[in-house]
Amino acid sequence: MAVLTFANTKGGAGKTTAVVIVACELARMGFSVAVLDADPQLWISKWHERLGERAPASLSVVPYVTAANLGQHARKLRDEVDFLLIDLPGARSPLLAQALGYSNYVLIPVQGSAMDAEGATNVIELLQYLEDRADIRIPHSVVLTRVNPMVTTRALQSVKELLSSRRVHVLSTPIIERAAYREVFGYGQTLYTIDTDSVSNLDKAQQNAQALAQEVLRRILPYSGRGERTKSDQLKLSA
Ligand SMILES: Nc1ncnc2c1ncn2[C@@H]1O[C@H](COP(=O)(O)OP(=O)(O)OP(=O)(O)O)[C@@H](O)[C@H]1O
Ligand SMILES: [Mg+2]
């Protein structure tokens, strides 16, 4: 199994939306998925509660995850489910280093249009610090979010080149800015429970979500099954 953390210390980067998209798609593929909701605003927990019986059966959400209980939940669930996704709060918090310590892979959502990379840089610097000081290498990728569907491939390519010149891997599939994502998740629906006529370009959002999940799966599979970070690694992290 694999633990996947979505991190960006800048609020509103699109973390929670990305977690919901990936969690739903992995569950649709037949994997068991748990989400640790470490955002005190409990956005995902409320969304999941509103979905009720329409939620994918293999998707569970743990609310009220804090620095005090994250380790306990992560250790228990990583042996029980195929994928454990962690949604962090926007601001910098002690939860970040802790969640990274349990992660097999980290996804860093960055708003493609604004190229608001400051919050991403914080996460990347922390990952670098862990590698330099504690010899813990956690693979990670930036996922561009809220990308305007009209944006030219060329503009997107230059963003990717900028990040790769800093040796940061960027997923090829960006999350497109779609009313479907905002409305579907804002109203306690999924891309597959909502009435097709009530939101435009639903099919495009579904295709985007599926392409993203497929790519995420390809990236994280080589790192799966190594959830057992050694005890000494954990000690190094908490030091
Ligand atoms: N791809 C998208 N298309 C349309 N709206 C989006 C998209 N991604 C995010 N949004 C909207 O942008 C806002 C912020 O997104 P989201 O809550 O996912 O960010 P976040 O990084 O989790 O924020 P926070 O740091 O506050 O937890 C929300 O209103 C969400 O509906
Ligand atoms: Mg959020």
Residue 12 Cα: closest atom of ligand 1: 23
User: Considering the domain boundaries, does residue 37 fall inside one?
Assistant: yes
Estimate the crossing angle of helix 231-238 against helix 94-102, to 10 degrees. Answer: 170
Provide the pLDDT for residue 118: 67
**Plot region of 192 (φ>0 → left; ψ -120 to 50 → alpha; else → beta):** alpha
Spatial contact of 88 and 96, defined as CB atoms under 8 Å apart? yes
Question: Domain holding 116: CATH number?
Answer: 3.40.50.300
Domain membership flag for residue 27? yes
CA distance 109 to 111: 7
Whole-angstrom distance, CA of residue 126 vs CA of residue 97: 8
Please report whether residue 58 resides in a domain. Answer: yes
* Residue 198, pLDDT score: 86
Whether residue 203 is contained in a domain is answered as: yes
Task: Tell me, using a 6 A CB cutoff, whether residue 149 lines ligand 1.
Answer: no
Residue 195 CA to residue 202 CA, distance in Å, equals 9
Overall domain count for the chain: 1
Q: Which helix (H) or strand (E) holds 136?
A: none
Distance 200 CA to ligand 2 centre (A): 24
Q: Are 234 and 72 in contact (CB under 8 A)?
A: no
239 within some domain:
no
- Domain range for residue 61? 2-234
Cβ(71) – ligand 1 distance below 6 Å: no
Closest-CA residue to 70 (of 107, 36, 19, 35): 36
Q: How many helices (H) and strands (E) does the chain have?
A: 9, 6
Domain assignment of residue 121, yes or no: yes
Q: Does residue 108 sit within a domain?
A: yes
pLDDT tens for each residue of the chain, 239 residues long: 899 999 988 888 899 999 999 999 999 999 999 999 999 999 999 999 999 999 999 999 999 999 999 999 999 998 899 999 999 998 778 899 899 999 999 999 988 765 556 677 778 888 888 888 888 889 999 998 888 888 666 666 767 777 777 788 889 999 999 999 998 888 899 999 998 888 999 999 999 999 999 999 999 998 887 444 444 444 444 44
Ligand 1 pocket, 15 CB below 6 A?
Answer: yes
pLDDT tens readout for residues 27-73: 999 999 999 999 999 999 999 999 999 999 999 999 999 999 999 99
pTM for the predicted model, two decimal places: 0.91
Residue among 82, 34, 24, 84 nearest 62 (CA): 34
Distance (Å, whole) CA 70 – CA 89: 13
In which order are the strands placed within the sheet that holds 33-37?
59-62, 33-37, 83-87, 2-6, 105-111, 140-145
What residue's CA is closest to ligand 1, atom 15? 14
Task: Note whether residue 226 is domain-resident.
Answer: yes
Among 16, 88, 206, which is best to mutate for testing ligand 1, by the most ligand atoms less than 8 A from CB?
A: 16
Query: CB–CB of 31/63 below 8 Å?
Result: no
Residue 237: the pLDDT is 47
14 lines ligand 1 (CB under 6 A): yes
